[in-house]
Amino acid sequence: MARPPRVRRSRGRDPLGLRRALSDRLLPALVAAMALLAAMALAGAQGAAELTSRWEAGAAAAVTVQLPPGVASGGRLERALAALEALPEVAEAQLMSEAQMQALLRPWLGEAPAVALPLVIELRLAELPASPEALAGRIAAAVPGGVVESHGVWVARLVALARSLQAVALAALVLVAGIAAAVVAVAVRAGIAARRAAIALLHDMGATDADIAGRFAGRAGLLVGTGALLGTLLAAPVLAGFADLAAPLLGQVPAGSLAGLPWESVPWGALALLPLLGAALGWLTAQATVRRWLRRLP
């Protein structure tokens, strides 16, 4: 008997004909689009996190109160601190130490400033006030002669905004993953429908659920992984472009040319995970879908 040719032999390893039933066109293309979205959400989350940490320092002291020098005497400072802490919005009022002040002013005033430094009280607020101006008014009333600086409230607002952007980006990521799983499940169910007779035959011959589900899962994992890789590769230049647009927000200069794009700010590590996570998602979804379907067989 002539040995069957090689091509035929390799087909024997695909008895369910999954190479056609789970085709290598539609599923990878859909997954590539979703991976692109996921990459953008991921970069959005990372960018928002970066802005947050950058601005957080500015928002740490939401409000400061400056007292004229010389107030330290006669218990006026203690009274001012007590009055500030008595305000319901204020969580803590703390005098900035002389060392802190000097460190802050060194670039402008040099090592040992000849001028008398003002006293600065930092207020940590219990929560961001709806109207910083009204709060400033009440603080000024509590500390006569004090100069209230409350633009930190606005920075804190921006931080809160960036945080919620981060949350939205992560939610989008979860949503994309969910949709991807649903798309895989639909594709696998269509594949099962197309190969119902072959599956029943293999089952009848003693193929285990693990065997049959494994064939689908292997194919689905490969297709989804490939699609996710494609989408991720497409995402890299898009993300570099976005990072360039955001450069001024981070105190950098936009490049304007492709080569000059800030490639280093693309989150390569997270992006490299996308194809792997995609393959795992495809594999798991196919396993679950097929095993669930197989349970109806005797």
Partner 1 sequence: MVRFDDVGLRYGSGPAPEVLRDVSFTLPQGSFHWLLGPSGAGKSSLLGLMHLALRPSRGEVEVLGQPLSRLRRGALPGLRRRIGVVYQDFRLLPHLTVFDNVALPMRIAGRAEAQLRADVAEMLRWTGLDGKAGALPATLSGGEQQRVALARAVVTRPALLVADEPTGNLDGAQARRVLALLREMHRLGTTVVVATHAEGLVAEHPAPALRMSEGQLVAHG
- Toward partner 1, which CB reaches closer, 42 or 207? 207
194 binds partner 1 (CB under 8 A): no
- 13: closest CA among 206, 210, 190, 211? 211
292 binds partner 1 (CB under 8 A): no
Residue 142 CA to its chain's centroid (Å): 42
- 8 A C-beta contact, residue 18 and residue 191: yes
The helix (run of H) or strand (run of E) holding residue 20 is helix 18-21
The helix (run of H) or strand (run of E) holding residue 92 is strand 90-95
> What six digits make up the tokens of 13?
């390893």
5 binds partner 1 (CB under 8 A): yes
245 binds partner 1 (CB under 8 A): no
Number of residues that bind partner 1 (CB under 8 A): 25
Angstrom distance (rounded) from CA 80 to CA 74 = 12
Angstrom distance (rounded) from CA 41 to CA 33 = 13
- 156: closest CA among 124, 121, 133? 124
- Toward partner 1, which CB reaches closer, 16 or 228? 16
Residue 162 CA to its chain's centroid (Å): 11
Angstrom distance (rounded) from CA 223 to CA 245 = 33
9 binds partner 1 (CB under 8 A): yes
**Could you tell me the smallest distance in angstroms from the CB atom of residue 201 to partner 1?**
5
Stretch that binds partner 1, among 2-10, 66-74, 78-86, 220-228 (CB under 8 A): 2-10
**C-alpha distances in angstroms, 1 versus 4, 5, 176?**
9, 12, 53
Stretch that binds partner 1, among 40-48, 71-79, 86-94, 202-210 (CB under 8 A): 202-210
90 binds partner 1 (CB under 8 A): no
Per CB under 8 A, the list member of 99, 115, 197, 259 interacting with partner 1 is 197
**Could you tell me the smallest distance in angstroms from the CB atom of residue 214 to partner 1?**
12
206 binds partner 1 (CB under 8 A): yes
6 binds partner 1 (CB under 8 A): no
Stretch that binds partner 1, among 10-18, 36-44, 160-168, 235-243 (CB under 8 A): 10-18
296 binds partner 1 (CB under 8 A): no
Please report how many Cα atoms fall inside a 13 Å half-sphere around the Cα of residue 131, on the Cβ side.
5
Interactions with partner 1, residue window 20-59 (CB under 8 A): 20
- Toward partner 1, which CB reaches closer, 13 or 25? 13
- 8 A C-beta contact, residue 217 and residue 286: yes
Residues that bind partner 1 (CB under 8 A): 1-5, 8-9, 11-13, 15, 17, 20, 197-198, 200-202, 204-208, 211, 298
